Amino acid sequence: MIHTKHRLFLVPLMLILACAGAFAQANSEVTGIVTDQTGAVVAGAKITLTDPGTGEVHATVSGGTGLYDIPGLNPANYNMKITAKGFEAFAQNGIVVNVSQTARVDVKLTIGAETQTVTVEADALAVQADSNVVSTLIDSQQISEIATENRNFAALAALGLGVSSALPDSNTPTSVASNFTISVNGLRQNHNIWLIDGGEADDRGGAGGMDIMPSQDAIAEFSMLTSNYPPDYGISSGATMSLSLKSGTQKFHGEVWEFNRTPDYDAKDPISHSLTDIHYNIYGFNAGGPVFIPHVYNSDKQKTFFFWNEEWRKILSGAGTSQNATLDSADRPTLGTDLHYKAPAFAANTQLVVPAVPTGSAYATKLAGMGLVPGTAPGTKGGFAVDSAGLPIIPSGLFDPNAVLFLNAGCPNACVMPNPTPGASTPGYNVTNPANPIDVRDDVVRIDHKFSDKLQVLGHYMADQVSQGYAKPELGWNGTNYTSITSTLANPADSAAVKLSGTINPNLLVEASFNYDGNVINIVNSANSQLPSGWAANPVTPSFAVTRNALPAVTFGSPYSTNIDTASAPWHNAARDYEPRWTCPTPWASTP
């Protein structure tokens, strides 16, 4: 793993030294043995494997033991043709090759004229006898038809062998907010790894999750390798979740979809007669096919293919009811104006006394200068004066300018210390049920290009733009009680992979690839969290000066017992991985 953007020079070096190392590409392969009708091996048979959807061709020859192997395959349904001197040609169509699978096709040739061809159809089901990998495959049709919660394909992993799932009933379909609590064979979730077209898409700081979440409708196949997978998949000690994106073919294809959920569709709770206040709207389209210009480029539709998928996810759900004691609007102070204090409605018997402060402090000196004695009740000697209605009068000279600015911050539209809610079940409380909106745009593009029958390239690019709102500062990662300061998480993520496959000779395939995946998290609080105009604070020493433009944390004692805390926003985190890989398999013909 390389975690720096200054290593791009490794790509050409990797191509030159392609046989220097080995690493899994999440590729599939077809292997088998060629014999005659008596069981004797046939050496030197030419095996050609063709993807009829794109015209991509892979070729090899059987070795001295009759064995052949064609690695580096993308998932597809292949047609095979085998020719050998003195034998009738053999053709088998519809060979299903799934992602990260070893498919075996043994062939018996018949002695006869090479111009004659024996054609058979591949079995619909085949046992994977050449690998002891314990795996679970979910194909494109199943992915489209399985009713995953919220169209979050993490739920597909719960269907695997040896899986213990602790996924929630409602799993948010974004990489950062999604839950990936999937234990395989008793291991922790952060032992798992996620691959897309062989490239890593794992959130290294997210405890086993993905750093990007492509549309479920862009996935061709999803395979979970849960046990006994070969050492070239040794990126993790848990399961390897291998996804393959859809690709273009010689024929144009596409689809449009929308998944919509609203309380209008739901039945009411039989006891409370309430509805779940949640709205989902997930919609998009995809298209794939050949890239060609008639009579100019790729007219035979054999070279370049594209697949493009766009999806939008708009989710609106309630954050839950928040009820907190708060400041009566009559008790909001103004500089230069005495305050006639009104006890809060939820604690009407509260008695205001002169506050106790440390002896000798500046505030104690100020109290003494006004003839006020700590602990003294209003209307008595040494206490606050009272008005005609019996309300204590707090002299404006006791107000700290910053405290006045704090208690009026954001007013009148978005007061940080909010006003009581009229008609609240508990008078004097602020009651809210804010929404947490989520907006996602997901882009997926894949290009497949064939330079020749011996050289092909695959490339994909994915990008997620996520904006998620929260009804608390810094996503609620603090002890704030009120929902007056909100925050927004912006989570741009992208991933790219390029894989070059080449055939050096019929017995030797080399591959080189480069994968990038990145995930950025930016958290900002709403504007009312910033310091109001006129705020001034003199540090004890210059080194203690506060430069952050955010209100400080304040705890309100009895009878309120609440907190306001802007936490540490704005907050930024980024993880970017750059990963070169190369494969040069040992030629099968040299294997005993």
Query: pLDDT per residue over 71-110, tens digit each?
Result: 878 888 899 999 998 888 998 888 888 887 788 889 999 8
Query: pLDDT per residue over 466-518, tens digit each?
Result: 999 999 999 888 889 999 999 999 999 999 999 888 877 766 777 788 899 88
Which of 243-257, 356-370, 573-587 has the weakest average pLDDT?
573-587
SS3 label, residue 282: strand
Which of 55-69, 158-172, 194-208, 412-426 has the weakest average pLDDT?
194-208
Exposed/middle/buried for 293, CB within 10 Å: 0-12, 13-18, 19+? exposed
Which amino acid makes up residue 88? Answer: E
Half-sphere exposure of 180 (CA within 13 A, CB side): 26
pLDDT (0 to 100) of residue 194: 87
SS3 label, residue 309: strand
Percent of all residues in the chain with a pLDDT value above 70, rounded to a whole number: 86
* Alpha carbons 21 and 355: distance in angstroms, whole number: 75
pLDDT (0 to 100) of residue 276: 62
Strands 209-210 and 202-203 turn out to be antiparallel
What mean pLDDT do residues 123-147 have? 69
Query: pLDDT per residue over 5-30, tens digit each?
Result: 333 333 444 443 344 334 444 468 88
SS3 label, residue 331: helix
Whether the pLDDT of residue 307 is over 70: the answer is yes
Nearest to 482 by CA among 351, 319, 248: 319
Whether the pLDDT of residue 128 is over 70: the answer is no
Indicate the average pLDDT of the chain. 84
What mean pLDDT do residues 26-53 have? 87
Nearest to 137 by CA among 241, 209, 218, 231: 241
pTM assigned to the model = 0.79
Which of 80-84, 392-396, 543-547 has the weakest average pLDDT?
543-547
Backbone Cα Rg of the chain: 34
Whether the pLDDT of residue 420 is over 60: the answer is yes
pLDDT (0 to 100) of residue 149: 80
What mean pLDDT do residues 266-281 have? 69
pLDDT (0 to 100) of residue 123: 57
Whether the pLDDT of residue 3 is over 50: the answer is no
pLDDT (0 to 100) of residue 261: 84
SS3 label, residue 143: helix
Better-scored residue on pLDDT, 74 or 373: 373
Which pLDDT band holds residue 584 (cuts at 50, 70, 90)? low
CATH architecture entry for 23-129: Sandwich (2.60)
Preceding peptide of 559 cis, ω within 30° = yes
* Alpha carbons 398 and 409: distance in angstroms, whole number: 19
Which of 261-270, 279-288, 582-591 has the weakest average pLDDT?
582-591
SS3 label, residue 590: helix
Which of 117-121, 449-453, 459-463 has the weakest average pLDDT?
117-121
pLDDT (0 to 100) of residue 431: 92
Cβ–Cβ under 8 Å, residues 324 and 481: yes
pLDDT (0 to 100) of residue 334: 93
Ranges of beta strands (E only) in 189-293 are: 193-196, 199-200, 202-203, 209-210, 219-227, 240-245, 253-261, 278-290
Q: What is the DSSP string of 542-580?
A: GGG-----SPPPEEE-TTT-EEE--TT-SEEEEEEEEEE
pLDDT (0 to 100) of residue 274: 58
Query: pLDDT per residue over 152-209, tens digit each?
Result: 888 888 888 888 888 888 888 888 888 888 888 888 877 888 888 888 888 876 667 8
How distant is the alpha carbon of residue 185 from its chain centre? 24
pLDDT (0 to 100) of residue 503: 77
Half-sphere exposure of 169 (CA within 13 A, CB side): 0
SS3 label, residue 396: helix
Per-residue tokens: 489: 């998480």
What are 555's strand-pairing partners? 563
pLDDT (0 to 100) of residue 156: 87
pLDDT (0 to 100) of residue 331: 92
User: Could you tell me the sign of the dihedral formed by the alpha carbons of 531, 536, 537, 542, in that order?
Assistant: positive
Nearest to 531 by CA among 545, 552, 550, 554: 550
Whether the pLDDT of residue 589 is over 50: the answer is no
Better-scored residue on pLDDT, 82 or 131: 82
pLDDT (0 to 100) of residue 413: 86
